[in-house]
Structure 1
Amino acid sequence: MAELEALEDWAAVLLGRLQPSARNKLARSIGQALRRSQQQRIIAQRNPDGSKYAPRKQRNLRGKQGRIKRKVKMFQRLRTASFLKVQGDGRAISVGFTGRVARIARVHQYGLRDRAEPGAPDVKYEQREVLGFTDADLDLIRDQLLSYLIL
């Protein structure tokens, strides 16, 4: 996180010279680029440090009727733009989840205990960092800032 603070200190002077509408436009474009980056990382099933997500627990599907889907990637709907929200204004940018989806993502992000469905026993989930900064994300922010300020 020290790199992020250094980037913030470096950009604060330059951003202070921009008009509020220009800062808002820049924040939205950076937020959307960060969301795309997070979506690609979720598709690849990778933590921000580059390691793979912990695999799902094996389930006994012998008694299940109908078609059994196998090899479905985790967080397929969570990564869509309708759930992964971007908020940006001249002062801050945030990329995250809201509502019930945020609770599900938080359980996986920190490896907490939760119920898979109502009435089910509590289960300890493996930690899978759904959101997080990679070095490429920091480079993306810096490049977006530079390209906006130069043009």
Structure 2
Amino acid sequence: MTDKLRALEDWAGALLAKLEPGARRQLNQQIGRDLRRSQQQRIAAQLNPDGSAFAPRKSRQLRSKKGRIKRKMFAKLRQAKHLKVQSSADAIAIGFMGRVARIARVHQYGLRDRPERGQADVQYDRRELLGFTDADLDLIRDSLLEHLTR
């Protein structure tokens, strides 16, 4: 994956250097929004960047009667107010901001954390919230080509 990203960076670098800073910033904003949308959809589908499913939640007794409550992980975490895009003429950054950044980091790297105050530490499974898929690299390349052909 890093080889494909490096090849895309080398190919696009020469083309982007010829653009004016304002045009580069505009292109980076559009690519950033598209990448954020792609990440949100992948998180909603509960898939890691390599295509494997997220590790399932630990079971909890949420309802004792018949019927079942089924909640998806990270439903609010993937909202645009938490998953921010920062772009300039030189770079694009997509990441979690504020208090939810800690939750995202724990799941991204599979760290230990306390689920609630006063409880024991829990080892969380690794669930990669952010990362490049092959489709994301294609999206970047296609956006760049579309912008240059206009």
- CA deviations 1:17-70 (Å, max 9, x no partner) are 11111000000000000000001001111111111111100124478xxxx972
Q: Distance in 1 between matches of 2:85 and 2:25?
A: 12
Q: Secondary structure at the match of 1:99?
A: coil
Q: Secondary structure at the match of 1:132?
A: coil
> Counterparts of 1:112-123 in structure 2 under 5 Å?
112-123=111-122
Q: Indicate if the aligned counterparts of 2:46 and 2:53 stay in contact, CA closer than 8 A.
A: yes
2:90 corresponds to: 91
- C-alpha root-mean-square deviation of aligned residues, in Å? 1.5
Change (3 A) 1:100 1:62: same
For structure 2, the 5+ residue unaligned runs are none
For structure 1, the 5+ residue unaligned runs are none
Q: Secondary structure at the match of 2:7?
A: helix
1:8 corresponds to: 9
> Partner letter of residue 37 of structure 2?
R
> Counterparts of 1:68-107 in structure 2 under 5 Å?
70-107=69-106
Note if 1:48 corresponds to 2:49: yes
Q: Distance in 2 between matches of 1:75 and 1:54?
A: 13
Q: Distance in 2 between matches of 1:135 and 1:19?
A: 28
- Report percent identity of matched pairs: 64
Q: Secondary structure at the match of 1:146?
A: helix
Q: Distance in 2 between matches of 1:99 and 1:23?
A: 27
How many equivalent pairs are there? 147
Q: Distance in 2 between matches of 1:104 and 1:19?
A: 38
Q: Secondary structure at the match of 1:85?
A: strand
TM-score (norm 1): 0.93
TM-score (norm 2): 0.94
Offset, 1:119: 1.0
Which 4+ residue blocks in structure 1 deviate beyond 2 angstroms? 60-63
